[in-house]
Structure formats: structure tokens, C-alpha cells
Amino acid sequence: MRKLFIIIILAAFGLMLYPLIQSFSGNDHLSELATYYAQKENIEKVNSVNLVTAIVVTYRGLDTLGEVTILFLTAAIIAFFLKGPSTLRTLRPNSEIFITAARVLVPIMVMFGVYIFMNGHLSPGGGFQGGAVIASAVILMFLAFPDAPFQHKFFGFMESISGLVFVGLAALGALIGSGFLDNTILPLGTFGKLLSAGAIPVIYSFVGLKVGAELSNILNEFKSVQSDK
């Protein structure tokens, strides 16, 4: 009975979505807004090879700030939410292969993460992606070395400092540049080089650090609900 009701509702919902498909006609050319972003003179104003990055960090940087804030919030909430005495668990020891592979892979993964966010304005990728890769290195570590101490102070510090830098740079844009999150507070550099696009690589790097730190923190909180001792 209940399921029938749900089926009816979902069917109705599907019917409601149908006009959207009906009115959808694909795109033959860029929308006016996108055209603006893709115009040469405007690209040069930001000087980022990756247009998505230009939008994410500069044009719509406030969204990104919100996004960072959401991860920050989640980490903070989980931190106090899952606090409390942990329950014991017993683990079977990890296999040698796994541990050895982890030893090799973790530094590489961290490096790769850093690479991704530092090149966010030049190639696919960016702060979030890089941060996520770093966090996956951390998760691998948790699995391989469950007893290893987690430097949560370090990660907390990383998180705060990168957040502050982000906000600071953004505010600096409002103070000395033409607006909040203006990337031209730093020299725009040569199009296509690592040191270009003004503040974008700096901001994205710190976003990457922050995301990495936050996700690691979250993972640590989940982990520490159970302990081995």
C-alpha cells in the first residue's frame, strides 16, 4: 500500500520532470554567460588556462568559499559529534603485501594530490580533487597502519591556516583589488605557465591543503570511534 503510494508519487514526479526534457533542446552554441567567459579579452583578465578553474576560483569564488565552509562545517560537526569514549575492536593483522604497497603508494599519492591542486588553473583538476587524493592517501594509511598516531594537531593547524589564507586573500581582493576574491592582486603572469592567473594557484593550493586536511580529519574522527586498545 505504502509502496503503491510511493510509486504513484514518483510517477507523478517523473511526469513533472517530463516538461523539462520537452523544453530541453541541447545547446548549439554557448550561452551568453559562457560566451563572456570564453572571450579572449576576458580570458586574459583572469589568465587561467582552465576556464572552469577561473569560474570556480574567481568569478564564482564565493561559491567555492561556501563549499570549503561546508567541508569545514562537516569536519567540525563530526569532531564534536563523534567525540566520546571509543569502543574496542580487534583487527586481524594486515598482510605484508598491503603494508609494503602502502608504504610505497602513500607518498606518491600525496605528491600526486599536490600536483593536481597546484596545476588546477592549467589542467583538469584543482583544490578539491587534489585534496581528495591526499585524503585517499590518508585512508590508505589508516588501513595499513591502524596503530600509527594521527597528527590531528598538524591537520587542524593546516586546515585553519589554509582557511585563513583563503579568506585573507579574498578580503585582500576587496581591499586592494577590484573586489572580493579578485585574483589580480598577484601578477597575472604568462598565460599557460605555472605562475600565472594571479592568485588562483595560491588560493587553489590552499583550498587543496584545506580539503585534504578536512577530509583527513573527518576520516580520523570516524576511525577513532573505535580503538584497538
Partner 1 sequence: MISPIHIISIGLGTAFALGFLNKKSNGLAVSLMLVAIALMAAVSSSWFIKLYQGAEAIEVYTAGFKPPYSINLRMGLNEALLSSLINLAGFLGGLYMFKNLKNTGKHAIMVFLVFVMGLNVIILTRDAFNLFVFMEVVSIATAGLIILIQDGKSIQAGFKYMIATGIIAGIFLLGIIFAYYFSGSLNIDDISNSNLLAFKGGSVAVLMIIVSVVLELKPFPANGWALDVYEASDPGIAALISAASATAMYFVLFKLMPIADLQWYKIISTAGLITFVGSNLFGLKQTGARRLLGYSSIGQLGLLMTILGLKPFLGDKFEYIAITILISHYLAKAGLFWIAGLLKKDKLKDWALLRKKPLFLVLFGTFVFSLIGFPPFPSFFGKWELIMSLSQQGLYFTLAMILTGSFLEGIYLFRWLGYAIKMESNESWTFKLEWNKVIPPVLFGILVYLAGYYSSTFAENFNGLYFIALAFILIIYLLDFLPAAVKNILSILSLALVSWYMLPGLYSEDMLRFIFTLIFLVGGILTFIAGFAYKGKREGFYPVALLMYAGLAIIIRASTTLEFFFGWELMTAGSYFLIIRGKKSMAHGLSYMLFSMAGAYAILAAFGLSFAETASIQLSSLAAVGGNITVIFSLLAIGFMTKTASLGLHIWLPGAHAEAESDVSPMVSAILLKAGVFGLMILMIAMGNNPEATRVAYVLGWLGALTALVGNLAAAFQEDAKRLLAYSSISQLGYILFALAMMSHLGWMTAMVYSINHFLYKSILFLTIGAVVLKVGTHYMYKMGGLIKNMPLAFIAVLIGIIALAGVPPLSGFAGKWLFYNAVIDKHWYFQGVIVFFSGIIAFLYLFKLIYSVFLGQLKDNLRHVKDISIWFAIPIYILIIGLMIFSAKPDLVLKPLGEMISVWYPNAGLSWEGGLATAPYGYWNGTGVMITIGIMFMALLGWLLLLSSKAVKVGQFNIVYSAEAPQRPETTHVSYNIYAGYNKALGWMVAPKITEFWDTMSDWAHSLAEYGRRLYSGNGQVYTTYVLAYIIAFYLIMIF
Partner 2 sequence: MEYVSLTIGFIVIIAGLWAIMTNRNILRMIIGFSIFDTGLHIVIVSLAYVKGGTAPILDSAVGINEAIDKIVDPVPQALVLTAIVIGLGVTALMLAYAMKLHKEKKSLDIMSFRDLKW
Binding residue for partner 1 (CB under 8 A) from 50, 184, 196, 220?
Answer: 184
Q: Which helix (H) or strand (E) holds 69?
A: helix 61-81
Backbone angles phi, psi at 107, to 5 degrees: -60, -35
Binding residue for partner 1 (CB under 8 A) from 79, 139, 143, 225?
Answer: 79
CA–CA separation, 63 and 69 (whole Å): 10
119 binds partner 1 (CB under 8 A): no
Q: Read off the C-alpha cell for 111.
A: 605528491
| Among partner 2, partner 1, none, partner that 174 touches (CB below 5 to 8 angstroms by kind) | partner 1
| Among partner 2, partner 1, none, partner that 225 touches (CB below 5 to 8 angstroms by kind) | partner 2
Does residue 147 sit in helix, strand or coil?
coil
| Among partner 1, partner 2, none, partner that 91 touches (CB below 5 to 8 angstroms by kind) | none
Does residue 67 sit in helix, strand or coil?
helix
Count residues contacting partner 1 (CB under 8 A)?
A: 61
| Among partner 1, partner 2, none, partner that 96 touches (CB below 5 to 8 angstroms by kind) | none
Long-range contacts of 170-176 (CB under 8 A, 24+ apart): 170/61, 170/65, 170/203, 173/199
Among 67-75, 109-117, 132-140, 186-194, the segment contacting partner 1 (CB under 8 A): 67-75
154 binds partner 1 (CB under 8 A): no
63 binds partner 1 (CB under 8 A): yes
Binding site residues, partner 2, CB under 8 A? 3, 6, 10, 13-14, 17, 20-21, 24, 26-31, 33-35, 37-40, 43-44, 49-52, 54-56, 60, 63-64, 66-67, 70-71, 73-74, 77-78, 81-82, 123-124, 126, 128, 191-192, 211, 218, 221-222, 225
Tell which residue, 129, 114, 111, 137, has the closest CA to residue 64.
Answer: 129
Q: Which of residues 33-62 bind partner 1 (CB under 8 A)?
A: 33, 36-37, 42, 58-62
CA–CA separation, 197 and 205 (whole Å): 13
Among 22-30, 90-98, 126-134, 186-194, the segment contacting partner 1 (CB under 8 A): 22-30
CA–CA separation, 166 and 144 (whole Å): 33
CA–CA separation, 136 and 116 (whole Å): 14
CA–CA separation, 93 and 62 (whole Å): 46
90 binds partner 1 (CB under 8 A): no
Residue type, 110: V
Binding residue for partner 1 (CB under 8 A) from 124, 179, 187, 192?
Answer: 179
